Structure 1
Amino acid sequence: MGLLEGRTALVTGGSAGIGLAAAVRLAAEGAHVFITGRRQAELDAAVETIGPSATAVTAVTGDIANLDDLDRLYEAIRDRGRGLDVLFANASVASLVPLEEVTEEHFDALFGINVRGTLFTVQKALPLLNDGASVILNGSTNVDVGDEALGVYAATKAATRSFSRTWANELKGRGIRVNTVTPGPTDTPALSALTSTPDRFKEQLAARVPLGRLGHPEEIAAAVVFLASAQSSFITGSSLYVDGGLNQI
């Protein structure tokens, strides 16, 4: 406990799933955590969840695909006057759409949030990032496989993986580390929302994982805390797989 005492962290998409679990852990380790998301009711519930273990939490409603919303978010962080030590660019969306059914709307929605939104989330944070800060991008094991109907989503995650390598190189002069956390199938509301038969879908996914189950958001959050803290001080540009061995063995 206390790995991030006195630090300031931001988790985008911090109201549910992996983002919420990460916010809970970062707060438990002593960070003041800012969370953002598109739905106020979910943010309010997240604050209640984080609250008991948090030194402090601040929720700011917004969409990372909207640059004005990002400006409002960073203004709130700037007003606190402590800069930013940890940025977990977690917010992303996914949907199952096979190649023949891909539309402009589907493509633009996924690339708008997962790629454009992630890029400007990090770019607009640069003036606030303290030297030695840690930036963590949320990746996916879909980058490495060709799962049907996830082609556009996988392409967005391949883009963010590439970003983490380039940005690690560009920001090394300030001691800022940039890494990707790469979850395998994880039991989140977003996973359930991908299909009308979530229980069957989860069973099928779990059967492919060497450890025989889906991941828990808290397990991904533990990896985020590791990458956020000095325990990973010699790691940058990497992708940390938290996938139950799915893409490893």
Structure 2
Amino acid sequence: MQKLKNKTALITGGTSGIGKATAIDFIENGASVIITGRFKNTVDDTVIELGSNAKGIVSDAGKMEDILSLADKVKLISPQVDILYVNAGFGKYAPLELIDETHFNEQFNVIVKGTLFMVQQILPLMKEGGSIILNTSIVTEVGMPNSSVYSAAKAAVQSFTKSFASELAPRKIRINAVSPGPINTNYFDRSNLSSDQVQAMADAVMPQVPLARFGEPSEVAKAVTFLASADSSFMHGTELFVDGGFPRIK
């Protein structure tokens, strides 16, 4: 059964990782998908890989001019968006003593400002019965060293999930969040960590995952598809954890 048949979905940050995996799963479930990415070559390559039910738009989730022009670009492809998955984001890490304004602004521009204004701008294209999914993170549930800014930004998105849900309920547009834990993606490509630091973080996290492995992007994608579909029709303003039990189960 195709859960998203005849639906049009917009996925930000859809050229890799969880975003790309979700685009694949959406298409397998009958949706037409529009992905965004920062670079034309990766957008074009991903659209070719995804096939005829995918279209792409070059757009940077951290640039207001791109966000403000995105709805017009989407309308050239589809007059309506049924599903919005605000996936674009990244994390950088620094101890409290070394955090500067650039470190703060980079993450808040994409994760907080980008999420808020992306929802605002695409909302006019969404009709009754639409579904919006935001990305939170397991970092909101645990104090992780060197992640003050990233954790705060994701906590803001967690708050958006509740407040947006309250506002959008009268319009019959559902909004929920998916909260990934440790997932095998290229997430660290935009981070400021060296390969040795990434490996050290992975080594520290792995023993805390009760399922004793990292998750795959496709596993998060299936949760996003669930939240996008009628299977979750009575879920609104909630957060779905896909984390292998980390760090809430001992």
TM-score by length of 2: 0.94
- Aligned partner of 2:175 in structure 1 is 178
**Aligned pairs (5 A) from 1:92-241:** 92-191=89-188, 194-197=193-196, 198-241=198-241
Identity %: 41
Kindly provide the amino acid, as one letter, of the partner of residue 240 in structure 2: L
Aligned counterparts of 2:92 and 2:76: Cα–Cα separation in 1 = 36
Instruction: Please name the residue that 1:245 is paired with.
Output: 245
- 1:24 matched to 2:24? The reply is yes
Asked whether the 8 Å contact 2:208–2:247 carries over to 1, the reply is no
Q: 1:33 touches 1:56 (CA, 8 Å); kept in 2? A: yes
Q: Which moved more, 1:153-162 or 1:126-135?
A: 126-135
Q: Distance in 2 between matches of 1:182 and 1:118?
A: 15
C-alpha contact (below 8 Å) 2:177/2:238 kept by paired residues: yes
Partner of 1:6: 6
Instruction: Quote the Cα distance in structure 2 between the aligned partners of 1:248 and 1:145.
Output: 9
What's the counterpart of residue 36 of structure 1? 36
CA distance in 1, matches of 2:24, 2:80: 20
Give me the whole-angstrom Cα distance separating, in 2, the residues matched to 1:42 and 1:213. 29
2:63–2:109 Cα contact (<8 Å) kept: no
Contact preservation (8 Å) 2:94, 2:146: yes
Q: Secondary structure at the match of 1:131?
A: coil
SS in 2 for 1:126: helix
What is the alpha-carbon distance in structure 2 between the residues aligned to residue 150 and residue 111 of structure 1?
13
AA paired with 1:46? T
Distance 1:247 1:227 in 2: 23
Give the letter aligned to residue 48 of structure 1: I
Aligned CA-pair RMSD? 1.4
SS in 1 for 2:177: strand
- CA contact under 8 A between 2:90 and 2:188: conserved in structure 1? no
**Contact preservation (8 Å) 1:8, 1:82:** no
Which letter maps to 2:133?
I
* CA pair 169-78 structure 1, distance change in 2 beyond 3 A: same
Match for 2:24: what amino acid?
V
Q: CA deviation at 1:200?
A: 4.2
Return 154-163 or 62-71, whichever deviates more.
62-71
Inter-partner Cα distance in structure 1 for 2:157 and 2:40: 27
2:244 and 2:58 map into 1 onto residues whose CA distance is 33
Residue 65 (structure 1) aligns with: 62
Is the 2:37–2:59 contact (alpha carbons within 8 Å) kept by the matching residues of 1?
A: yes
- The answer as to whether partners of 1:24 and 1:49 remain within 8 angstroms in 2 is no
What is the CA distance between 1:40 and its match in structure 2? 1.6
Question: In the alignment, residue 98 of structure 1 is paired with which amino acid?
Answer: P
Partner of 1:50: 50
Query: 1 CA distance for matches of 2:85 and 2:20?
Result: 11
Structure 1's unaligned 5+ residue stretches are: none
**Could you tell me whether the CA contact under 8 Å between 1:7 and 1:85 is conserved in 2?**
yes
The one-character-per-residue Cα deviations of 1:16-66 (angstroms, maximum 9, x if unpaired) are: 111111111111111111100111222122213322xxx511110011222
2:15 is aligned with what amino acid? S
Q: Which amino acid aligns with 1:201?
A: M
| Structure 2 unpaired stretches of 5+ | none
Secondary structure in 1 aligned to 2:195?
Answer: coil
Matching residue of 1:79? 76
1:121 CA drift (Å): 0.3
1:26 partner letter = F
